[in-house]
Structure 1
Amino acid sequence: MGLSSYFEKKGDAGIVIFAGKGGLGKTTCSAGLSHYMASKRNRKVLCFSTDPQASLSDIFDRDIFGKGLISVIPQLDVVEIDADRRVADYQEEVKQKIRSMYGLTEIPTEIEEYIDSTSAEPAMYESATYDAMADLVATSGHDLYVFDMPPFGHGVRMIAMAG
């Protein structure tokens, strides 16, 4: 059974996840399904890439990476998260909270270095990307969310974070 046949029978799906090892065509399938569901089934679709390779930009021939929600055709929005920027924004938010809580204009060097070192934490980028995914699902109002996961190891960690 192909994907189009599946969705003819189960047209009410809300989330589809394409995961697996690298080179399987996850991004191609994510983009293809998203385009089909938006253009042929009139579903309001968000295609979300968590893969740091940012291949949706290539497929849709648009600069999507790190730009937020981009409408590529009617009913189809695409997002490629810049996890580096999300981690940096989070670190700056923590620093600002410390400044505000303690009335500081500058944070002591040791504390600032500690906060900056959090970007080396093993799951920091997955966490930043997962938070972005959760925010979009909770606030964007789409009918269907199609997730293009990174190669298998990272994808498993992302899915496990939801549990």
Structure 2
Amino acid sequence: ALRDELQAILADWRMPAVLVTHDFSEAYQLGDRVVIYEAGRVRQAAPRGDLLWRPASESVARILGVRNLLRGTVMEVCPTHLRVAWRGQELEVRTPPDRLPPPSAGSAVTFFVRPEDLRLIRKDGPPPDRAHHTNILSGRVVRETDRGVTWTLMVRLDAAGELPD
């Protein structure tokens, strides 16, 4: 494919190049650093992996396709995660090890859930193993969308509270 050929050419040249694209997967595959522009301004410039794990703002996260943006309050700061109050639940939220300083207890935070970190557990199946599953929430699938090689599920949670804008 053209993307693979371009990647090989860039590797052979070993010279900096600027590629403008609206396709984040293309930018991620071809670039070492990615710059996110929105409304004529740089919103974030970072190594490609940093964008996925540490988007600088909600707008950058949305540009990257993050749809599960949640807002909560930090209850406790632990070495590898935060305990966050969200919609009447206590969640464990992983934090990048190099994130300094961490938010303090009582701080409002926006966080996201990566789709590959979600697991569906049937209510009529065996109970979840709480030693290997955290943040277990109850809900029901209200919409399914076939995307070809993946599915998008809309889940209505049983937890109370407000959703983000």
TM-score bracket for the superposition, by shorter chain length: under 0.3
Greater C-alpha radius of gyration: 2
> Normalising to structure 1: TM-score of the pair?
0.24
> Normalising to structure 2: TM-score of the pair?
0.23
Identify which of structures 1 and 2 has the higher relative contact order when contacts are C-alpha pairs closer than 8 Å and 6+ apart: 1
Question: Between Structure 1 and Structure 2, which shows a larger proportion of helix residues?
Answer: 1
